[in-house]
Structure 1
Amino acid sequence: MTTETYAGGLDGAVIAVAGAGGPAGRAVLQQLARAGSHVIAADADPERLAQAVDAARYDAGGADITGEVVDLLDLDGTREWAGRIEKAHGRVDGLVHLVGGWRGSATFTETDLADWDLLHDLLVRTVQRTTLAFHDGLLRSPGGRYVLISAAGASAPTAGNAAYAAAKAAAEAWTLAMGDSFRKLGGENPTAAATVLVIKALVHDEMRAQRPNAKFAGFTDVRDLADAIADVWHASPQQVNGTRQWLTPRP
């Protein structure tokens, strides 16, 4: 069981990462583990998850990273996952929500409502399940943090991105409501915070290799995203709770 001397920050923190089976997940797992956190990664794809965990563990020098396949559309299953983490480690200090997906169309009227159904599951319902499952545990932590990765399009929807922008906006609103709950329940010395990090899009080394002439203007490198996520634990709850932190110019 994890030591009870944890008082905030990343060293010794117990942090779950949802949607960890991709380039961003690998960067975030590596960053958190190198900072001394106990990292529990989750993804719906067993193969992607295993690859991300193995790569991040290797990159971070055999760090404390474990993986678990979790269906984040199953509220009871997500609550059981949160409970297992808290039982195994004595507490849970963070949930980083990296679950993503995109669908769009050439014009507004060509929008396929099936895209909304998919994005509603990926971008909204997974946020609902993880916030409800981890809320109380994060509130009990000396430094609990919930971090959602959102997109600038939620604040400036374009015609062909109606479903995506609407889903991201809903996820933001849900996360900020969690932050309001933390504020109301935290008393005079709140310790928990819910934060939204806003990007335009992500870029990683494989993308650059595939498109060597692309500028990727306004994109956020996955390593910079990992740094920004780590900074949420270094800030006070009052600085980050219920806020949108912009990692790209506002539209």
Structure 2
Amino acid sequence: MTDTTTRRGYEGNGEGRLQGAVVAVAGAAGPAGRAMLLRLAEEGAVVVASDADAGRLADAVDAARFAHGGATVTGDTVDLLSLEATRAWADKTEKEFGRIDGLVHLVGGWRGSATFAETDLADWDTLHSLLIRTLQHTSLAFEGPLERSGDGRFLLVSAAGASKPTAGNAAYAASKAAAEAWTLALGDAFRKAGGESGPPAAAAILVVKALVNDQMRADRPNAKFAGFTDVKDLAEAVAGTWTKPTAELNGTRLWLTPKP
């Protein structure tokens, strides 16, 4: 098996699987983002985080730095609803660190209703911005740097509901399905960019039923959270995508919960 550190050309002598890789995390201030920053830093990556909430982002970045002394973890308040701002973030990151090897898209949100008839179309407008528009901007901004990496990863966290929508989740499921389709289109762009040599980067989707974290369990000690994915397990799955060949990973869905 080819040594992945040599193949990628990452610099550094640490033991982490991502030692020297530069990984950006969009939507990094929530529980999933905090777990992601911690895990990527533990694996040796340079972690570049963004979120619209400056205070929560600073807390998440500080926690990752404290947990892994010497780790490079930075935070930028970025308006991902602006393509110009998102491109500026990608350009700044590549210029500062010389490369970008991953973009993990964690920007989320949920809106729903009791029945299909009660669906509020304003929910679609909100979810379109959160789940689709931000993804469009990060994919367009980071496509080039990820291709230049030679082993890049563009990773979307999606929901099982996109494949089996329920009546009260029409807007949410449709938004997630659109985000998945957009990500797979990026994967096709990577495939075409590589030609016979194989894709220089991979776009993939990690599918969960829902996410759970320690605080949720503490708040609801009797809840089962059946089929939920712990944010720490999600972070581990993301780190593990770099152990898969790029051509094998590109354009796939990785199910972290049983398929509906």
User: TM exceeds 0.5?
Assistant: yes
1:147 counterpart = 2:151: no
The correspondence of residues 129-168 of structure 1 with structure 2, limited to 5 A, is 129-168=137-176
Q: Whole-Å Cα distance in 2 between the matches of residues 156 and 59 of structure 1?
A: 39
**Separation in structure 1 between the aligned mates of residue 173 and residue 9 of structure 2, nearest angstrom:** 41
Cα shift readout 1:198-217 (whole Å, capped 9, x = no counterpart): 00000000000000000000
Q: Structure 1 unaligned runs (5+)?
A: none
> Which residue in the other structure is 1:21 paired with?
29
SS state at 2:253 partner: strand
Instruction: Look up the match of 1:69.
Output: 77
Deviation at 1:179, TM superposition (A): 0.2
Question: 8 Å contact 1:154–1:169 — kept in the other structure?
Answer: yes
Contact residue 10 and residue 234 of structure 1 kept, 8 A: no
| TM-score between the two structures when normalised by the length of structure 2 | 0.93
- Inter-partner Cα distance in structure 2 for 1:69 and 1:174: 24
Aligned residues: 247
Offset of 1:61 from its aligned partner? 3.0
After TM superposition, give the deviation of residue 191 of structure 1 in Å.
2.6
In the alignment, which residue of structure 2 is the partner of 1:218?
Answer: 227
What corresponds to 2:251 in structure 1?
242
RMSD across aligned positions (CA): 1.2
CA contact 2:191–2:198 (8 Å) conserved in 1: no
SS in 1 for 2:49: strand
Q: Distance in 2 between matches of 1:147 and 1:190?
A: 15
1:62 CA displacement: 4.4
Cα distance in 1 between the residues matched to 2:190 and 2:41: 26
One-letter code of the match for 1:67?
G
Instruction: Point out the more displaced range, 79-88 or 186-195.
Output: 186-195
Letter in 2 for 1:53: V
Equivalence for 2:239: 230
Q: Does 1:103 align with 2:111?
A: yes
User: What is the identity, as a one-letter code, of the residue corresponding to 1:215?
Assistant: K
What is aligned with 2:194?
A: 186
Which runs of 5 or more structure 2 residues have no equivalent in the other structure? 1-7, 12-16
Which 4+ runs in 1 deviate beyond 4 A?
Answer: none
1:6 maps to: 10
Q: Which residue of 2 aligns with 1:128?
A: 136
Residue 195 of structure 1 is matched in structure 2 by 204
Does 2:40 correspond to 1:36?
A: no
2:61 matches 1:58: no
Distance in 1 (alpha carbons) for counterparts of 2:26 and 2:147: 19
Separation in structure 2 between the aligned mates of residue 84 and residue 123 of structure 1, nearest angstrom: 24
Query: Partner residue of 1:49?
Result: 57
Cα drift, residue 190 of structure 1:
2.7
